[in-house]
Structure 1
Amino acid sequence: MRVTFLGTSGAVPTTARSTSALLVEREGDRLLFDCGEGTQRQMMRFATGFDLGHVFLTHLHGDHVLGLPGLVQTLDFNDRERPLAVHAPAGTRSRVERLLAPTGNSPSYPVRVHQVEPGDVALSAGEYEVRTFRVDHRTDAVGYALVEADRKGRFDRQKAEEELGIEPGPKYSKLHRGEPVEHEGRTVEPEEVVGPPRPGRRLVYTGDTRPAEGTVRAAEDADLLVHDATFAEDRADRARETAHATAREAAEVANRAGARRLALTHVSSRYAGRSDRLEAEAREVFEGERAFLPDDGVQAEVPYPDADRAFTLERVGRERR
């Protein structure tokens, strides 16, 4: 699973940070979470590709949606044919449609707006789901959790071959699928050679929010929690007034949820050039480098919980001139 931070600024973009957008690539699927102003250019800069199937909007404040009309139009110019699904909080369909109206004629491909409420499954894709959860902001808003299904347990080939005398072949496949097989006069059950199911990955994206119980529940044991961290502690009062979170509050949520990694985002422009302060405050609460504040263009590789590979961050792409 690859996560590219396209826009990490708060309501106002800076020369270094664009407004909210996060692109997730999983096994060939590309999912876009929020689409702030300039998102399509960020996709070009950081070479994510435009083959999107779904856009998930947390809420309809401008810094999260103003890039959508241009993106829809560019996909039209590129002769797109397959539908694009736009998911947005319940009660906002007409506003999304009005947002897209200034692009002129309807695009040559279907744009389907789906309304979601907390607790819904916005997308069911077999091996994973995108679920919605309740957040605490000043408007109709939801967060999204990408949750993978459990994977098959590990197949113990050595035991199957050396202890049970089963030669490699179709019986291995049946056992790994959970089906018993007959071998040398007895029934071999799958659990004899297949370990327990292995957990999939969980990615949670809050959009704008105060610390919320809905986030804690959705982010339980999350491999990556991407949380609003608009302010430092010196602006905690302002965070409460505007229904945002401080970096320290985001870290406290991550701790309560037992998340493995915390990405701080939606950084106020007042911290331009000083965002390391937010990261430091979060790390006082959430252990060490497990909390990080990504720049635009940083890409995270999220491994399976039981994988030998480590969670990695790198800067990707290069601006085209």
Structure 2
Amino acid sequence: MSQLKITFLGTSGSMPTPQRGSSSVVMRRGRKLIMFDCGEGTQRQMTRAHIGFQRPMKILISHMHGDHVLGLPGMLQSMSLLGREKPLHIYGPVGLVDYVKAFSESLGGPGFPVILYEIQEQGIIYDSDFYHILAIKAIHRSTAWSYVFIEKPRPGRFYPDKARALGVPEGKLWGRLQRGESVTYNDDTVHSDQVTGPIRPGRKIVYSGDTAPNPELVKVSRNADLLIHEATFMEELDDRAAEDGHTTAAQAAKLAREADVDKLVLTHISSRYPDPEMVRNEAQEYFDNVIIAEDLMEIDVSLK
């Protein structure tokens, strides 16, 4: 199973600050990239994080506010200059196609395929043999989506002694058993579950984007390895958070507790909170395993 590394490229709310760039998080699974939002300055942060522009890549845009999409024109221009040929897949709300078309016409279209998907309804937006991605309707001032990355379950741990005892010789047949297949040898059929342990779950990563507290997000976040949730406000401004379609640190922590996630990372931190410990302390009143995202912070998500 591929390594899963999360890099926080931009962690500020609404606008960049001297310490924080505009919203963007990138996930590396093997050599492939999945990016959540692409705020202003994202491409520079990618170079600082030593993440190449030529890799297979999907970009998931939560909504069409500037602090989440203004990095797209520059990134596509740089990819063209660097000779990218691989297709780039971009998912987002209605309005994405018009936006990309407008800046491509004024700046010159990219020299590689850009495939755009405007999400119309909640559900699976991408599915492969290894993982799928869900879009969940967020609660915000404009149409917005939260995203859930879910790896497919893995076969259980393989026990060579059991395979030998059942007469299966070491080699390609063992590989098939480890992948969950049944094999036939000397007219005997051996099933994977005879030589492996219980099926093991894949990893689950949840990205809230901008949203007010959302019961639907609690449901899909159940037992997630990592919940990346916005925390634009603290509790003293909970009325403002509700009005603007945002979440307080305390509310995000309560959501994490209810969903029983392993780890909560708070991002989209407002410049009104220069000391991030204030935000973390509020959240930890309700959920222990809280991290405040910082630009270029990395988290490895291990297999269970």
Shift of 1:168: 2.0
- Describe the superposition over 1:122-174 as per-residue Cα deviations: whole angstroms up to 9, x where unpaired: 2223201121111100101111111110111111112333x445442344234
Out of 55, 78, 82, the position equivalent to 1:78 is: 82
What SS does the aligned partner of 1:292 have? strand
Q: What pairs up with 1:268-283 in 2 under 5 angstroms? A: 268-272=270-274, 274-283=275-284
Check whether the contact 1:30–1:51 (CA below 8 A) recurs between aligned residues. Answer: no
Counting aligned pairs with the same residue, the percent is 38
What SS does the aligned partner of 1:220 have? coil
Give the 3 Å change call, closer, same or farther, for CA 96–138 of structure 1 in structure 2. farther
Partner of 1:88: 92
Q: Is it true that 1:148 corresponds to 2:158 in the alignment?
A: no
Out of 209, 217, 224, the position equivalent to 1:222 is: 224
Letter in 1 for 2:283: A
Give the 3 Å change call, closer, same or farther, for CA 149–216 of structure 1 in structure 2. same
Q: What pairs up with 1:1-321 in 2 under 5 angstroms? A: 1-52=4-55, 53-102=57-106, 104-161=107-164, 163-176=165-178, 177-182=180-185, 187-272=189-274, 274-287=275-288, 290-304=289-303, 306=304
TM-score (norm 2): 0.93
Counterpart-to-counterpart distance in 2, 1:148 and 1:168: 28
Counterpart-to-counterpart distance in 2, 1:45 and 1:4: 11
Letter in 1 for 2:184: V
Letter in 1 for 2:284: R
What SS does the aligned partner of 1:130 have? strand
Counterpart-to-counterpart distance in 2, 1:217 and 1:99: 37
What SS does the aligned partner of 1:58 have? coil
Give structure 1 regions of 4+ aligned residues with deviation exceeding 4 angstroms.
none
Give the 3 Å change call, closer, same or farther, for CA 195–89 of structure 1 in structure 2. same
Letter in 2 for 1:277: M
What SS does the aligned partner of 1:146 have? strand
Letter in 1 for 2:302: P
Counterpart-to-counterpart distance in 2, 1:66 and 1:101: 16
Counterpart-to-counterpart distance in 2, 1:27 and 1:2: 9
- Describe the superposition over 1:221-240 as per-residue Cα deviations: whole angstroms up to 9, x where unpaired: 11101001011112111111
**5+ residue gaps in structure 2?**
none
What SS does the aligned partner of 2:282 have? helix
User: What is the aligned residue count?
Assistant: 299
- Describe the superposition over 1:32-64 as per-residue Cα deviations: whole angstroms up to 9, x where unpaired: 110111111111112122235211100000000
Counterpart-to-counterpart distance in 2, 1:179 and 1:66: 50
What SS does the aligned partner of 1:270 have? coil
Counterpart-to-counterpart distance in 1, 2:93 and 2:166: 55
**5+ residue gaps in structure 1?**
307-321
Check whether the contact 1:8–1:20 (CA below 8 A) recurs between aligned residues. Answer: yes
What SS does the aligned partner of 1:207 have? coil
Counterpart-to-counterpart distance in 1, 2:189 and 2:64: 58
What SS does the aligned partner of 1:25 have? strand
Give the 3 Å change call, closer, same or farther, for CA 164–111 of structure 1 in structure 2. closer
Shift of 1:199: 0.5
Give the 3 Å change call, closer, same or farther, for CA 92–78 of structure 1 in structure 2. closer
TM-score (norm 1): 0.88
